[in-house]
Structures are given as structure tokens and as C-alpha cells.
A = this chain, B = another copy of it.
């Protein structure tokens, strides 16, 4: 289950896709420890570049990502995780997917409606 962590300063790209709908929910990065934890626990775990630490997705919101299937690409520097997303949405801004803005006539426009209230989930 080796991956190539050398091409992105110790990280691989992780694409998260809903296993039932095939919607792409988010993109994150994993270092070797996050990758190992993801495989061992079955919950998607990332490396936060801004906070410089491991980040179990859902640790504050409860919106965990249960891993159903893992694939890697030809040069093994990216992984594709098919997941069951626990809860109403993956995005901390209250949407089902982080990809809630579409390019429309040269501008980003919000194309989804919120699936939950982020203030209520992330308060405190």
C-alpha cells in the first residue's frame, strides 16, 4: 500500500467521492501518518497544511467519512476514497460538498443550497 509522498513535500492528494452518488465531496491532503490512520481506522484522516497537524474529518462536527473503497493513480501520488459521508454535509460552510460554486459566465456562483447550519454545528 505504498504511496509516493515525495512529489508534494510529504503529502499525497486525496479526492473524496460519495460512494452512492459519485459526487466529489472534497479534496484534502494526507501525510504518511494520516494515510496510515485512514487505512487502519476506516475513517478519512487528513493533514491540515494550515494547522500543521493531523485532522480526523468530523472530529468537531461529527461528520465523519467512512471509507468504502480506496484507489490510487498511476504514479501513486494521489488517492481516491469512496466514502459514506455521515451527516448532512462535508463542507464546513454548510454544504453537502465543498464544490458548491460553479463557473458561470466567468464568475463563481453558488449552485447548491445549504444542507445544514454551520453555526449550529461548529459553534463554541
Interface residues of A (CB under 8 A from B): 1-2, 7, 13, 15, 17, 22-24, 26-27, 39, 49, 69-76, 78, 80, 91-93, 95, 98-103, 106-108, 111
Contacts and interface: CB of A to CB of B under 8 A. Distances in A.
A32 B100 CA distance: 21
Nearest to A12: B27
A82 to B, nearest CB: 9
A26 B73 CA distance: 7
Given A92-B74, A93-B74, A1 B69 contact: no
B111 A99 contact: no
A122 to B, nearest CB: 13
A24 B27 contact: no
B1 A27 contact: no
16 contacts: A1-B103, A1-B106, A15-B15, A15-B24, A24-B24, A24-B80, A26-B73, A27-B73, A27-B78, A39-B103, A39-B106, A70-B102, A71-B100, A74-B95, A74-B98, A80-B99
